[in-house]
Structure 1
Amino acid sequence: MMNDMPLQLRTVNVTRYITPLREGGSLPAIVEADDDFMYVLKFRGAGQGIKALVAELLGCEIARALGLKVPEVVFAKLDEAFGRTEPDEEIQDLLKFSIGLNLALHYLAGAITFDPLVTTVDAKLASQIVWLDCLLTNVDRTAKNTNMLMWHKELWLIDHGAALYFHHSWTNWKEQSIKPFLSIKDHVLLSSATELDTVDQEFRAILTEDCIKSITALIPDEWLSDESSEIASQHRQVYDQFLLSRLSNSEIFVKEAQHAREILI
């Protein structure tokens, strides 16, 4: 249940670059911040750009609102002098192009990658995650790359940067908002998602218009536009309208997921 207090994210300053995570396409890194915690830093200067940070932020906070487990998300400031001593030219360029406000997730030390052959996910949780990824049009939760971790015997969701791909072209977002999510056929948990109708009712009740707008309000204006605050406001409204439209038409993506599951099994 949402309270009347506006959502807020903490802001930290990155103090130490520890190691790159080269399995990630955008070359995220483990870093330490001035609060003495370690984070997985997602760089604004990476190939996928700031839109991947927006997708990550919205995906994580919507998942959190739904009661799913995701690491704490923080804004992470990168100082201009930070990368000067980095010997790797690729990483040095990445740090140079990422000066300013980035996004980071609390590092889950000791977590292991979720393996569907080792860990069984119950039908309700599987249905919740499949539903979430249909809403977000998240193409990146497959058996090849699950983007889920097991930490303290619980399932945690990570890496939503490939979600909300409509925002790479603002021209057809209305059409995209009501389309079924065909890529759900490749979802690693689809075969176990037998409670989609129940989850649909429960999650639509949680994700009210106020809830969605409180989450999109977290996006920094500078991530939405380099031009003007007016453009930033327009783009924020598109995220609102896209998500609310998908929620209003959730039966479309639920039926597609159910159909894909019937074919799969």
Structure 2
Amino acid sequence: MDTRDYLIKAGEKVDLKKIPTCYEGDLDKKDVKNHLAPKNLEKLQDYQERLYAENKQGLIIVLQAMDSGGKDSLIKHVMTGLNPQGTKVASFKRPSDRELDHDFLWRVNRELPSRGDIGIFNRSHYEEVIVTRIHDLVKIQPLPEDLIDKDLWQNRFDDIVNYENYLRNNGFRMVKFFLHISKEEQKSRLMDRIVRPEKHYKFDKSDITERTYWDKYQRAYEDLFEHTSTKEAPWYVVPADRKWFSRYLVSQVILETLQDMDPHFPQLSKEAEESLDHWKKVLEES
């Protein structure tokens, strides 16, 4: 599988209607679930250990999707084998009054992983150019009126790109995924939440009312992909109607990103290495 097939290149024009939501390739579901995906998880564990031990770099994974796109289950399945000590998951919902009293990146900055850690954003700073834009919530934000103009969203895109470049320049990689589902698949998943008692806890009526804004959401995502997918922090549009494939593809991209980061176990000093034989004998005699 060539993950570049799902990459949004910098400045590329995006039409989500032309991008498949369902994988129809040659990969076999059983082979992926029984062999390829487990191998990826093993490799991810190894690279996470190196990243944690090296303590010089960090990785930020951004997950965005329409409601019921599969973000929660993807986190559960793809990250299940990682060491919780080096993993941090942050979910972003509607901003609180306290968060609105700060710049829009403030609440995201507070949730960044430490060096050596992997941070997973379930929704992210991109909510500001998605939900806020579609529902015109900027009008109720405490902003100077002269900043709310025709350049607002372009300025937001510029701020985000500059922020992500800043993180990269400080040793933090970011890779971003949009779980691309069809409106029909979303309907099926939302219906599951209504008819299956064990999924009632997931149901929220807003998930259904938001479907009336489907086309607006699609256009808003297309706009942000075109303005914020960069070499330093790329976007991947992941066909997500089949969860087994979306989980495998995301794990593969994360693995390739860690391989490119190439973290190493730290080297002992010459003095410490020379003392190992001594401490081995001390331990054996204890």
**More RCO (CA 8 Å, sep 6+):** 2
Which structure has the larger Rg over C-alpha atoms? 2
Name the structure where helix makes up a greater proportion of residues.
2
